[in-house]
Amino acid sequence: MALRRTRKKTADKPSYHHGDLRRALLDASLALITEEGFGALSLREVARRAGVTHAAPYRHFADKEALLGAVAEEGFRAMTSRMREAMARESSPQMRLRACGVAYVLFAVENASHFRVMFGPHFTRPLALSASSEQVDAFGVLVGALVEAQRAGDVREGEAQDLALTCWSLVHGLASLLVDRQLDPRGSTGGVEALVWAQTHLLMSGLSRRSSD
């Protein structure tokens, strides 16, 4: 009897700690989207790739959309961190604002699958936009950088959120064109990063006090 119990225990699939299963499911989801697109995504296929039972994903996610929401939140968290790190390397408010936009685009290009999940049309329920949500925090970083540039006299007066929306629209549009390969950065000397710096320079010219006179 003891021998049979030992064999049964050995044959069982390895158990996951609470955080490990969730991480495995998120990683499997991103890999599947990258390789086969959103159409191939299902909780059953994600479970298969993660090496767990078909029922295992439901320990963390009610459905596929909840899983995608978790992937999106993770993307916003990583993108916000990237923006903050880039801004911290600059010494002037104007350059910090530009660095915020450059980091946004570079994150999108380097993490295309994450970016597509974050802003794709696959959510029937809107992502929660609570004051503490990652999406709101990312926009808040941009608004904060713009307000700082306004105080330094680098950016025209006006409602900060409206001006931030203008900034976001430019960098998000540029990121989408690059991610969807509608824009080839090879035509720009210095590649993607140089292209984005050039575009944010033009944006700052449009936002400057002189251009509003």
Q: What is the CATH number of the domain that holds 136?
A: 1.10.357.10
- 200 near 102, Cβ under 8 Å? yes
DSSP one-letter code for 128: P
C-alpha 116, offset from chain centre: 8
Any domain includes 108: yes
Sign for the pseudo-dihedral over CA of 166, 170, 171, 175: positive
Any domain includes 77: yes
Any domain includes 141: yes
Any domain includes 150: yes
- In this structure, the chain runs to a length of 213
Any domain includes 5: no
Structure confidence at residue 123 (pLDDT): 75
Q: How many domains does the chain have?
A: 2
For residue 149, give the amino acid letter: A
C-alpha 152, offset from chain centre: 29
Please give the residue range of the domain that contains residue 41. 11-61
CATH for 21? 1.10.10.60
49 with 79, same domain: the answer is no
Q: Over its length of 213 residues, how does the chain's per-residue pLDDT go in tens digits?
A: 444 433 333 333 444 444 589 999 999 999 999 999 888 889 999 999 999 999 998 889 989 988 998 899 899 999 999 999 999 999 999 999 999 999 999 999 999 999 999 988 777 765 554 444 555 588 999 999 999 999 999 999 999 999 999 999 999 999 999 999 998 887 677 789 999 999 999 999 888 866 544
CA angle 143, 144, 149 (to 5 degrees): 95
89 with 158, same domain: the answer is yes
Burial class (CB in 10 A: 0-12, 13-18, 19+), 165: middle
15 with 49, same domain: the answer is yes
33 with 76, same domain: the answer is no
- 114 near 74, Cβ under 8 Å? yes
Q: Which two tokens stand for residue 97?
A: 């604002």
For residue 137, give the amino acid letter: D
Which residue, 66, 46, 62, is CA-closest to 54? 46
92 with 26, same domain: the answer is no
